[in-house]
Each structure stands twice: as C-alpha cells, then as structure tokens.
Amino acid sequence: MSGGGSASSSKNFIPIVQKYDRIILLIDMDCFYCQVEEKLDPSLKGKPLAVVQYNAWRGGGIKQESRDSRALRIIAVNYAARAKGVTRHMRGDEAKEQCPEIQLVKVPNVREKADLTKYREAGKEVANVLQRFTNLLERASVDEAYLDITEAVNKRMQLMNEGSFVLQPQELVNTYVVGYDGIGEFVTDITKYYNKPSAYEDNDNNDDDDDDFRGFHGDNIPSLRLSNIRLLIGSSIASEIRAAVKAQTDYECSAGIAHNKILAKLACGINKPNKQTILPLAKIPELFETLTLGKIKGLGGKFGEEVCERLNIRYVAQLTKFTESELQQKFDEKNGSWLYNICRGIDLEAVTPRFYSKSIGCCKKFPGRNSICGLKTLQHWLQELANEIIDRLEKDVIENNRRAKQMVVSFAQEFDGEDTSSSRSAPLLNYTVEALTKSAFEIIKSNTKQFYRAGSESVLNNPIKFLGISVGKFETISNNQNKLQEMFAQQAAKKRRISEDVNEEQIKETFSKAGGNKIEKPENQSIQALQKEVKTKDVRSFFWKR
C-alpha cells in the first residue's frame, strides 16, 4: 500500500517547523491542447473545440463511414464546448450530437500512434518563461508547473517595509480568495487592522477564522494576517507570471497561491479559466468540510478508496477526528502521519527543481480483439515504440546534454481471462532502435512463465494488452562525451526547435518598477463587480512605509 505521503528518492521534504513559511504557486495552462491548436489555426478561436485521438478498436464491427467519429476519443475540450455540454468522457460522435458546431482537431498519428510532439514543445515554451521567475520550478506535466516564490515574496516584504514597494490594485485583477466574496473583501480584512501594533506579529487573534484554525492546529499557529499579506504579495507575482506567459507565448493560464503544493493545486482548480485563487490558512477548515477525499492529490486512487472505506468517511475534514497514532496503526507510520498532516492543510513536500522530464516514454493499449497474440506483431510494436523513444532521445541529448542510463518495459498480459500488469527495468547500454527493441523483447520473454503457446514458436501463450517503454535516470554528458552529442546532432532527422532570444526591452515593458504587470482591464466589467472593486486607497493605506 502506498499513499500520497510515501517518500521516494525523487522527493524532498521540508522540516515541519517551516510548514507555513513558503509561498507556492501552481501554474495550470487552461485547456492547453486546445490553446495550442488555436494558436496554430486562429480561425478556431472562440468556437467550441475538442482535441481528439483516434482509437482503432472503437470502430470494430461497424460501417467504415461511421467508424472515424465513433473511434475519436476526446483528450481536451475548451470552455466554449464545455458550455454546450461536451465533456472529455464523450467520443467524437457523441460530441457532435451534443454540439453540432464543434470543431474536432485530430492529434496526428506517427507509427500508428498519437504524436504529442507539438504539445510538448509548447509546454517547453511556457516553461522557458516560468524559469525566469525562480530556480525552484518543478514541471509536473506538459501543462502544469509548481513554483516556489518564497524568496521573491520575502524580498518584496522587505521593500514594502522600506516604503519602496507598493502593491497596485491592477495587479489583483482576476484574483479570487477562497472564503471571500472578492479580493476587495480580503484586502479590507487585512487593512482594517493596519493601525493595530499586532497587525504583523501577534498571535492573540480573536477572529472566528482564527478560532476555527486553532481547532485544527492548537495554539501553535502563525499570525494569520502576516500569512495573508504574504499570500497577497504572492498573488501579485503570480499575476506578473501569467502576464509574461501570455505576452511571450500567447497562452493563458490559471494559478493557485498557497503555502504548499497540495493547497496550491486545490486553489488553482476553483476559479478557471484565466484566473488565480488564493487559499488562506484560516479558510482551510471550511473548505475541507465539503471537499471529498479523492480531490486531494495522492488520495484519488485505490489508497483514497481504502481510507474512505476503512474509516467510513467521505470528506477531508472527517480525518481530523482521528489521532496521528490511530491513523498510523491503520495505514502504517508514514502514510498515517501524511494523512494526519494533510487534513490540516500541511504538506511538507518541497518543490524540486525539474525543468526537463524525469523520463521519456511511450506506450500503446491493445484491448479486446486488438490484443497481441503473435510473435511478429509483438516485435513490430516493440520496434515502433523503440523508434519513437530513440527519436526523442536523439533530440533530448542535443537540447539537454544528458544521457539516459536505464530502460523500463511495462506490459499487461491476459492470464485466465484476467489482465496482469508487470514492469521491469534494465540498463540502457545503446541508443539504437535495434538494441532497444531486442532488450524490451528479452525482458518480456524472460518474465513470462510460458511465453509461447504449446507446440508453437510464433503464437504467444498469453495475449498482450498493453506495451510501454520508458527511459530515465539521466546523467549529464561530460566534456569528453561531446562526440556522442555531435553524433546525434548529425543523426537527428527532425528540426531542432530554436528558442526565441529573451527580449529584455519587451520584458521591461511588461513589468512596472513597482513590481506590477501591465494587465489589460477585463472586457467583462462584471468581473470587477464580483471582486467588489479594490480601491487604490485601500491597498496603499496598508502598504506605505510603516
């Protein structure tokens, strides 16, 4: 059993005494695949749109003219299509029936499988912008990244106290706060205590929110107002980051601002698209009262189902009635402590700098009648997967100056009517399609009790339902290995993507001297109404030199 709290060699954790010291952002690209397609074809903007992937087995047994639409699996839907009732769970024909005007853009196929190259390249383009703001950037996926901006927030706090930094109201456009009607109410809640000596450093708070939070944490809690100030400054930085992404790439994104990764991810999903959300510490108990356990990262799968079943609970707040020792007894020491902390809004996982992916992989499913039963078919698909891996490795070694040391083969076989999954690793000794194909085949063969059907050397005893190859454990190529890099530069058939040079003047125009970004006013004036109109004097009265 493994829950979200399970440690691994790739994760780092902070001391628990620092649990409220950080300001973490999650940047999430809105309907990213759809945005990429809209950028490639501007005529699609504003129209209901879905990006679809062809699944051959969907059309089995039906007429050819209707096969394509039934075999199209939706992998991304823009908000215009969602407003018409289209969801990712639909097939192409179902989306057309629900929304006849929807545009279906097909992911290109290479080697009989989806080619996601253009989306990966777009993700790198965004990451190039994000890394200018902090070295603590962790790419979680093609369209998500965590940023630890604690250092930047602390610097602005210092400048604020010196009187050289003033938070501008326009920096808070499209900013929302969990538990508040609008950002204006949140700012007012902070500024109304401005003249009190305890506004920065006290712990003798008497608000109901403070009492609720003490119910979670006891008396050892931070100044909630100081926490709110730091989150507010973090939101201004998040706004700058989102503006820079838009200016440099033309892509829009949303953001979550909180004290850790899990809270930032929760906050990010509350208000979308093209918005950002702050999750204050004092509002965590209220949020967790109605937040189902599966919404927490690490509890969305079997472990979360087990926790709900064994404890007979549904909502995150219900975990707080169990002591840490009780949870450890039920779910082991590590997972018990993690559950005890997470239901109190505590996540100690650090943002681990990771610009490049930890692994390069590809896979393909073979369900039902498409399962692999013959030797030649297996060898064909292993070679197709190996071709894609080597293509991407050739490009990776040129761009990132690193080499993978390990390969992992994943496969699912049918035994007595049930699918059994396996995964095995081996050293990666050679960057060739032939070597990778051969190694993958030997791994599958050596880990199958009876590989061939009795009396045959070409028919598999157990049909294969899934194949995947990935490579990882990268190491930087040293100077004396540059010949390898040059070799791949010559071999690479694909064009290298050339990153645009940073235009310093354009960046200067994007940001004001006070740290604020030039964000255009929202076209929809109702947004400002929702945010209760943040007044200049409300902000400046608080952030002038004390």
What is the residue whose two structure tokens read 């902090």? Answer: 134
Q: What angle do CA 54, 56, 60 make, to 5 degrees?
A: 135
CA distances (Å), origin 256, targets 172, 274, 383: 13, 11, 42
- Alpha-carbon distance of 54 to 109, in angstroms, equals 8
Q: Could you give the 3-state DSSP secondary structure of residue 29?
A: strand
Q: Of 311, 267, 318, whose CA–CA distance to 292 is shortest?
A: 318
Beta bridge pairs of residue 474: 404
- Would you call 414 a catalytic residue per the annotation? no
Q: Could you give the 3-state DSSP secondary structure of residue 340?
A: helix
- The one-character DSSP state at 52 is E
- Element holding 187 (H helix, E strand): helix 183-191
Structure tokens at 476: 């930087």
Structure tokens at 364: 């393909």
| φ, ψ for residue 400, nearest 5 deg | -115, 0
Check 144, 306, 399, 414 and give the catalytic one.
144
- Alpha-carbon distance of 32 to 144, in angstroms, equals 10
| φ, ψ for residue 110, nearest 5 deg | -130, 130
Cβ contacts of residue 179 below 8 Å, gap of 6+?
Answer: 209, 280, 282, 283, 286, 287
Buried b / exposed e along 209-233 (16+ C-beta atoms within 10 A): bbeebeebbeeebbbbbbbbbbbbb
- Alpha-carbon distance of 152 to 544, in angstroms, equals 19
CA distances (Å), origin 202, targets 48, 193, 221: 51, 11, 10
HEC-encoded secondary structure of 94-139: HHHHHCCCCEEEECCEECCEECCHHHHHHHHHHHHHHCCCCCCEEE
- Is the Cβ–Cβ distance between 385 and 468 less than 8 Å? yes
DSSP string spanning 275-313? -EEE--GGGHHHHHHS-BGGGSTT-SSHHHHHHHHHHT-
Q: Which residues are catalytic, by number? A: 144
